[in-house]
Structure 1
Amino acid sequence: MMISVAFISRATLYASPGGDTKQLEETARELRNLGVQVDVFLSNAIIDYAKYDLLHFFNIIRPADVIHHIRKSRKPYVVSTIFVEYGNVKEEGRTGIVGTIKKMFSESTFEYIKTIARAVKNGEKIVSKEYILWGHNHSIKYVASHAGMLLPNSESEYRRFISKYKVATPYHVVPNGIEERMLNKQFPESSQYKNAVICMGRIESRKNQLNLIRALNNTQYQVYIHGKPSPNNMAYYEQCKLEAAANIHIEGHLGEEMLYTAYANARVHVLPSYFETTGLSSLEAAVMGCNIVVTDRGDTRNYFGTDAWYCEPEDPASIKRAIDEAYNAPYNEKFRERILANYTWRRAAEETLDAYKQVLKL
């Protein structure tokens, strides 16, 4: 029996690509290779649910994208939680009313206000009207408690989620991965990226590029920061450009070939975020030969263990120390072997398919 699945994710999945975009695309690719029919929809799409055996949602912290489809379809579903906690993110570059609102309200209320604001400012339609009535926390609990299964990226992520929302939904860990097909390619030497320090990720306050800039301004390092600015973080992006010294290069989102060329030539990849469930670009950079500096907040230690250099995101001196140590250390081939053994999109798809079979009782 061929399983037919509808992937449903945020309306800005491609306009503002992030780690969830890569996770969705690569999981879909590998599931198709395993014989699963996968169609991808944005949350504001009209879907013929009758064509699918189950629905697969992404980002549990965006329940306004989900509830409508759950209630209308009456189909079993799973959720890739990608559970990011924004409470400790320092909203630099966000002045005026946004900064004031965050100080005044709880994390869940702030997320509720953000959802309303995205609808008003960016035209991101709230497809689930129930969200407006129920609020953020109740909506997340509803989505989680009615799911056939939750698919966190790590045990740590699941423990954080159930600790906060007190649900008892079954779960199946689906690790994030790397693209094995890219490892068989030869990438050219690049004078631009050779022995550089790089940072790949959407430019936003959570990713903390501003403190990376402050840590490495006017140092011996050539630093390349690549990514699209998040639509709600344009002031942050402008602040990054304003503070960057001549050795800091802030450039756009890279296509796949150039991205892997940068990974293959650089010496250190840095993701000093205020929070990461994994940090996909860290995995990608590591398997391509970079030493990696990562945040100590979130679930990063579940993936990287003692093979990464950890920094405190609010402290530029800590970021600089970690980069210095990583830059001067040899690359550990055993780390690469561990990634290839445990963190590939093929394995992610296999674990996902196992979860589908459990939910559908196949």
Structure 2
Amino acid sequence: MTSFDWLSTRSSGPMDAGAVILHSPSHAFQAPGGGEVQLARTARHLEAVGVRVRPFNPWTDRLEEGRLLHLFGMSREGLELARVAGARAVPVVLSPICWFEPSALWGLAPSRVKGARDLGAWALRRAVPRLPGWRRELLGIADAVLPNSESEGEQLVRLFKLDRRKIRVVPNGVEPDVAEADPALFRQRVGAGGFVLYAGRIEPRKNVLGLVRGAKRGNLPLVVIGDPVPGCESYASRCKAEGGAGVTWVPRMDADDPALASAFRAARVFALPSWFETPGLAALEAALAGCAVVITPFGSTREYFGDRAFYARPGKVGEIAGALQTAWEAGRGGTELAELVRRRYLWATVARRTAEVYDEIAPTG
């Protein structure tokens, strides 16, 4: 049973009174990514340490019957639910899973006018963080805010004047068994040679086109696992057209699929030169599996990977190509990075820290 199937079973039937209610925007699982995996894996490991959880069912569930409401991701939908929770004296925990990157506002804008407008709004927010807004209201309602990194928390303080006393840093995690996966399973699909791997959603924010161009410039074989986000089909077609025969395209795999873990073990380099990451679940998994990692410097990546990864800015194809080449030469076997991930970033650790926050703001018994 996959993590998403497991969530489905937990959201059916009558609500277990006193359970922690988990919420993600209703559209999120139409194109699941790292945030949805974070919810699903956190939920399973919370239950393993004795915390009852309930993915929110809007048709049947009543917030006042739960122990607390845990929102994954910042959304207007989550704000509306948080308002109801506040009115009914139900504690609210928020995992924001967000990053506000000015270079991305410009780089991803459909026009210069839109880019300038977005940058202006960001600059105003930074200059006057007490400006009202729905995100600031949501952060104000939350009893505890669980950013994935210290840097994410500090950004929320700078941009929205978040009360630091609410911050409880809870990192992202990985499953330990990815390190023991059999690489032969995926090699049967793509061949025995080395390759650069990308696994994730195909969309502009992930900069798959920049990766395709960087790998092509360095004449490195690239394997892309993933599907386009709805609305990004033309972008995916452009990526495929530019990649040509040098790129192997594999449909999206569930996070629990043994073939995905096998791909991490088979790849020589894992690449994620996105416009920002917090820090990129697939990169953590690849690091634990022993890949050399090329990743964006934007977001919280340096806080996680330090000097053990190779960094490339998303708007610089030459920089991406150079980082890929350096990582390719370094090759697999980064035991120092793998051990760091194993020591700090397992889902079991994430669940324990999360449960401690629950006990703090909504004690049982």
Output the TM-score relative to the length of structure 2. Answer: 0.83
Q: What is the rounded CA distance, in whole Å, between the counterparts of 1:324 and 1:51 in structure 2?
A: 55
Distance 1:303 1:66, change over 3 A: same
- State the Cα deviation string for residues 43-96 of structure 1 (Å, max 9, x = none): x65532233110000112x2x1112212223311100011122542278798xx
Find the aligned partners of 1:308 and 1:272 in 2 and give their Cα distance: 12
Q: CA RMSD in A?
A: 2.4
Residue 170 (structure 1) aligned with residue 182 (structure 2):
no
Aligned to 1:157: 152
Whether 1:40 aligns to 2:55 is yes
User: Do 2:224 and 2:247's aligned partners in 1 also have CA atoms closer than 8 Å?
Assistant: yes
Distance 1:89 1:137, change over 3 A: farther
Shift of 1:219: 4.4
Question: For the Cα contact (< 8 Å) 2:207–2:273, is it kept in 1?
Answer: yes
Q: Which residue of 2 aligns with 1:336?
A: 338
In the alignment, which of 333, 343, 357 is matched to residue 355 of structure 1?
357
The percentage of aligned residue pairs carrying the same residue is 30
Distance 1:257 1:10 in 2: 27
The 1-side partners of 2:111 and 2:225 are apart by: 26
| 1:125 aligned partner | none
Q: Quick one: structure 1 residues 314 and 352, their matched pair in 2 at CA, closer, same or farther if it must change by over 3 Å?
A: same
Residue 31 of structure 1, CA deviation: 0.1
Question: Is 1:72 aligned with 2:84?
Answer: yes
Which letter does structure 2 place at the counterpart of 1:260?
A
Q: Give the AA of the match of 1:246.
A: A
Output the CA distance in 2 between the equivalents of 1:177 and 1:347. Answer: 8
State how many pairs are aligned: 330
Conserved in 2, the CA contact under 8 Å of 1:218 and 1:245? Answer: no
Q: Which residue of 1 aligns with 2:213?
A: 214
For structure 2, the 5+ residue unaligned runs are 1-16, 123-130
1:97-108 to 2 correspondence within 5 Å? 98-99=110-111, 102-103=114-115, 105-106=117-118
User: TM-score, length-normalised on structure 1?
Assistant: 0.84
Deviations 1:271-308 (A, max 9, x none): 00011111110000111111100001111000000110
Over 3 Å counting, the alpha-carbon distance change for 1:46 and 1:210 in structure 2 is farther
Q: Aligned equivalents of 1:160 and 1:244: distance in 2?
A: 36
Letter aligned with residue 319 of structure 1: I
Task: Say if 1:100 and 1:235 are closer, same or farther in 2 by CA, change over 3 A.
Answer: farther
**Other-structure match for 1:318:** 319
- Report if the CA contact (8 A) 1:211-1:314 is conserved: yes
The structure with the largest helix share of the pair is 2
Do residues 250 (structure 1) and 265 (structure 2) align? no
Q: What's the secondary structure of 1:277's corresponding residue?
A: coil
Q: Give a deviation string over 1:136-167, Cα, whole Å, max 9, x none.
A: 96111111011110000010110111111112
Distance 1:51 1:101, change over 3 A: farther
**Do 2:200 and 2:226's aligned partners in 1 also have CA atoms closer than 8 Å?**
yes
Structure 2 counterpart of 1:147, one-letter code = A
Tell me: CA distance 1:108–1:76, structure 2 relative to 1, closer, same or farther (3 Å): farther
